[in-house]
A and B are shown apart, each in its own frame.
Chain A
Amino acid sequence: MRYLPHTEEDVAEMLRVIGASSLEELFSTIPEDCRRKGDLSLPGPVTEWELNDLMAVLAKTMAVAPEYKVFLGAGSYHHFIPATVSYLLGRSEFSTSYTPYQPEISQGTLQAIFEYQTFIARLLGMDVANASLYDGASALAEALLMAARVSGFKKVALSSLIHPQYRLVVRTYLEPAGFEIVELPLTSCGRTELTGLKTIEGLAAVAVQSPNFAGCMEDLGSVASLAHDAGALLVASFTEPLAFGLYKSPGALGADICCGEGQSFGIPQSYGGPGLGMFASCKRYLRSMPGRLVGRTEDRDGKSGFVLTLATREQHIRREKATSNICTNSGLCAVTSAMYMASLGGSGLRELARLNYDKSEYLKKELRKAGFAIPFSVPTFNEFVVELPPGSDAVYQRLLDRKLVAGLPLASFYSGMENRYLLCVTETKTKNDMDELVNLLRADCNI
């Protein structure tokens, strides 16, 4: 096996040094009744070429571009990834290193993460960002736990227009710890209903997502004042950070903690993971933040460099009193997203964001023209909800046969949304793709 370099002579010589007569003898401390009786029953070993064939067969079953036109978003977005990003993150000095505990030989990762923290703080309009969490969902759960630490309360209000799977993850993290979760309903125009907030006491946080799961921009400024009046923190979640190239950042609108998924920035969709939990907050809450932080400092010669810092918040120092149990995070995905943001630049980010918006507005307009209803009136970014006529499920299936995935059916996520679909249009969809979608829908629905 090519990953195992030992020759028979090596093994013999090393056993001699150790004073053992066989490799088996090295395991004599494992009690007999804890041992495996026979060999592992596994397929293989396969050669590299056999593996290529096996994996190609599996990968080929997956419905991906360009063969399929996939108008799905809902927390995972198809964006172009430039060759430079894939190439640079393939530098194995980045990918094959560990968490940078030894700063003298980890300055590459440390500076890249420090720059990532700066990108995220600026993107979200916040003071500080951490070095990443697992994904947008666990980032939201961690944000709510942090809000509870800051406020001393164990009750949170959650918009029902937060990604439904994120809300499930929040329940998993919070309920065993004795939290009370209040869900805020949605309005008919596609935003979170906030009127109930005034009557809830002892709130640690109000959490909303913007753009929300229906693609609509929340009125974050109003949520912030209502939350702050109630003595709660505003936790602003997101699944599509590209929106902040067009719209105001959550920080500018009064969010206390911003957290979300960063997959859009140069990270392949990979059937849902790995993603990137982006997490940022205000300076005054810094010591309550979860996750690793990179800080600037000097070496013995006075040269500027970087180290992991404020580790006294973390599990390896504080153990059960840590601000989070996180250890391994999404470091390489954070560096990937920094490479992507660096490539795009401020001008590119605004241009790309606007293009996403304009394309989705084009599809919205064409669908309306064709006679389909767009039920929510609030401005959107690159996703929106469309309502098809009754019996739309069969239409959706027939489009799948034409290799076109016409968005996400919302029926299983919300009651009363039987014929509603969440459509997503990024820069990867052309005008022709959208025209084809509208034409097929129109023809199939007999409009």
Chain B
Amino acid sequence: MVEFAGSTGLVLNEPLLFDKGKRGRAGMSIPRRDVDYAPVDEELVGEGPDFPDLGEVEVVRHYTRLSTWNFGVDTGMYPLGSCTMKYNPKSNEKQAALPGFAGAHPLLPEKLSQGALKMMFELERFLGEITGMDAVSLQPAAGAQGELAGMLIFHAYHKSKGRGRSKIIVPDTAHGTNPASAALCGFSPVKVGSSDRGVLSVEGVAAAMDEETAGIMVTNPNTLGFFEENIRGIAEIVHARGGLVYADGANMNAVLGIAHMGDTGIDVLHLNLHKTFSTPHGGGGPGAGPLCVKKHLEPFLPIPRIVDDKGSLRLSGDFPRSIGKLHAFYGNVGIMIRAYSYILSLGPELKKVSQLAVLNANYVKEKLKDVLHLAYDRPCMHECVFSDKLQAPLGISTLDMVKRLIDYGFHPPTIYFPLVVSGALMIEPTETECKEELDLFVEAFRQIVKEAGESQELLHGAPWRTKMRRLDETGAARNPRLTCK
């Protein structure tokens, strides 16, 4: 009998912070007053916000209890497709917390901040080497901001050629941030479909590409888990009509040390340090979305850039063709430190990361493809996409199956995305899961499929073992309650 991690146990309740506390309690030591009270302008002074006063123990218990209601990578397998929920090394956290980094003011004179500048300067070069691109900016604070930076570069590039362009090609498998980022720069997205192999075709792109189109945004490997094998041909078409090629690197975890993105014909590529380079997702951020470009677009990168001035590093804003600034300072340096530590810890062995990530995804695909419908039956990269096609006739949906998966002790995969697969189940195990864990996951899914044939109620009602059952999302949107009264 297999024993799964999913179990029941004592789950503690905890009220809202605003229903706790008593006036006069303190949860924090206030520094000593060593100066007198100064007069204040009574016109400007207010009452201060209505926050509860809580004791230190109350605060500690509150957040400790809340944390136990959460599922993280440290809790268990988190096969969320295209999100790359790999293990987040603890040593990286320690480096980012070093007082020299954590306590550093961003406007320190450059001669007093050489360590941070050196880390950033080297990380830019590491990412350039890993992607095969020529120049890197670490400034974007997340993948979507990296995309925006990329689209701003498209905009600035076309403007520099004296001809603005109004459209952008976005495949139907793209993440929603792609069209949203393009729209911010005034580009209207033109959708192109993928072939029956789940990839773009040169002909499809050629039909959509014209002199009004700024270029194309391609996620490579794409969200179906396939390498866009026609990328060079696509790039040739786009370039021939004066356009540029943007690559969304959300799925770079599949090809580290294997693909040379700089040789695939792309002009711009963003990375997600919080996916590929192991920095924690933090329940929704902060992340970082560095932007990599080929030589001809380097002048457009965000400022300031780090320049080497005879062995001393400094920040320079002297790039007149730059798209400008995206962040109040230089981006999420604390996240960069973690990614830098990760890259140093692996070095050239990063290639092994991708090999094992792809091995794990193909293993899960093979082990489940007799019970779940595989959207495209061909070798995958870092993730595989199933659907609920076989279970739908039983009245069982993707949502039902993944909610049941929670009872077994696993985080659900990404569901209902990409949009081109109805009832999609997108599984990305990542390289940090061992074979035994994958076997348990497969076994859990196979049992769920069995349950789907025997007791629909069990799946419709799932999850059963969590603190909360399924929540009313429609009601939440109809009558938004967004703060405590």
Contact = CB atoms under 8 A, between A and B. Distances in A.
A61 B106 contact: no
A315 B286 contact: no
Nearest to A350: B48
B62 to A, nearest CB: 7
Interface string A112-133: 1111011101110101110110
A165 B432 contact: no
A39 B186 contact: no
Contacts of B473: 103, 297, 307, 309
Closest 5 CB pairs of A and B: A272-B329, A59-B100, A44-B347, A272-B106, A332-B282
Interface stretch (B78-86, B202-210, B389-397): B78-86
A138 B145 CA distance: 10
Contacts of B33: 355, 358
Given A112-B66, A348-B26, 17 more contacts: A15-B359, A40-B130, A62-B116, A75-B106, A108-B69, A122-B483, A123-B51, A176-B152, A272-B329, A328-B281, A331-B286, A332-B280, A346-B51, A346-B53, A348-B28, A400-B109, A431-B34
B467 interface: yes
B345 to A, nearest CB: 6
B54 A343 contact: yes
Interface string A352-389: 11110111011001000000000000010000000000
Interface residues of A, number: 203
B454 interface: no
A27 B258 contact: yes
A135 B328 contact: yes
Nearest to A378: B41
Give the one of A68, A128, A286, A326 with max B CB within 10 A: A326
Contacts of B358: 23, 26-27
12 contacts: A36-B258, A40-B256, A42-B129, A138-B145, A138-B327, A172-B326, A261-B328, A293-B480, A325-B145, A344-B27, A344-B28, A361-B35
Nearest to B352: A4
A93 B72 contact: yes
Interface stretch (A190-198, A226-234, A245-253, A437-445): A245-253
B240 interface: no
Nearest to A137: B328
B184 A310 contact: no
B477 A18 contact: no
Contacts of B469: 104, 299-301, 303
Contact of B152 (A59, A172, A270): A172
Given A104-B470, A273-B286, A320-B182, A96 B74 contact: yes
B406 interface: yes
Q: Which of B53, B100, B475 has the most CB of A within 10 A?
A: B100
Interface string A74-115: 111010101010111011111111111011111111011111
Tell me the interface secondary structure of chain B in the complex. loop
Given A134-B141, A270-B101, A351-B30, A103 B468 contact: yes
B472 interface: yes
B316 interface: no
Contact of B180 (A36, A248, A320, A357): A320
Most-contacted residue by chain A among B71, B116, B282 (CB, 10 A): B282
Nearest to A379: B41
A319 B341 CA distance: 35
A5 interface: yes
Find the residue from B64, B141, B185, B256 having the highest chain A CB count within 10 A.
B141
Contacts of A347: 23-24, 26, 53
A70 B112 CA distance: 11
B482 A295 contact: yes
A14 to B, nearest CB: 5
Nearest to B148: A325
Interface residues of B, number: 201
B81 to A, nearest CB: 11
Given A10-B435, A115-B18, A348-B30, A244 B49 contact: yes
Residue with the greatest number of chain A CB neighbours at <10 A, chosen from B44, B179, B472: B44
B264 interface: yes
B219 interface: no
B108 A405 contact: yes
A4 B356 contact: yes
A329 B284 contact: yes
A307 B473 CA distance: 7
B453 interface: no
A326 B144 contact: yes
B472 A297 contact: yes
Contacts of A344: 27-28, 51
A394 interface: no
Contacts of A275: 328
B142 A165 contact: no
Contacts of A447: none
A4 B431 contact: yes
Contacts of B80: 98
Interface string B147-168: 1100010011000000000000
B45 A122 contact: no
B212 interface: no
Given A327-B143, A346-B48, A14 B435 contact: yes
A269 B102 contact: yes
Contacts of A41: 129, 348
A147 interface: no
A173 interface: yes
B297 interface: no
